[in-house]
Structure 1
Amino acid sequence: MLRVLSEQPRIDCVEVLVMLSIYSLAMNRRHSEYCMVGYVVRFSVIMGLHLNVPRHQLPSRELREHRNRVWWTAYILDRSWACMLRKPVSIQDEDIDVDLPSKFPCTS
């Protein structure tokens, strides 16, 4: 299933890989979880999730918040798995320019 990765990653692809990485952790497949979360971070960088999107480009506050939460989930998992396995992280902190997620749920 993972051999057919999309040329242009979408946020749903990133979310599925996050879930598969967490599942791999539950199944004690540490190398798989680390590799999958590495894909997630790379796909997120391709999509620009590691950067803030100006309000005029993406007016929906909910979509901007969703992008932030997906990014920070991938970031935290990447850091956690890399630390656990004593492996390198997928992205350096100075390359990240996105706001932290808000403390409040996004409701209209």
Structure 2
Amino acid sequence: MFPPIFSVVAADPAVTALLGSPPRLYPFGEAPQGVASPYAVWQVVGGSPENYLGQRPDIDGMTLQIDVYAAAASAARAVAAALRDAIEPHAYITRWSGENRDPDTSNYRTSFDVDWLVPR
């Protein structure tokens, strides 16, 4: 039911060079207050099991939203690129969701969606 995103990105040297080891990648709502930047958060925003008429599903498909926050736009883009490269051998990037700047923290944000198939 849940993708192995943390173990995938934690094993990638380019990601850990930017986000630390263990990487500053948090499930939605769990980034600590005042976390060092850059960092990323992820959440499941959709999905469904692969249903069959004659048997239980053997795989769950889900869509994740990944948001990267950094003090500079270039840093947010670099982290997003490293995450993309780490994730693509395991899942599909399906949407670039845009970029903006958080009005409260002044952090730059870039976001993208991933479709992940997770065997049961």
Using the size of structure 2 for normalisation, the TM-score is 0.28
Using the size of structure 1 for normalisation, the TM-score is 0.30
Q: Which has the larger radius of gyration?
A: 2
Structure with the largest fraction of helix: 1
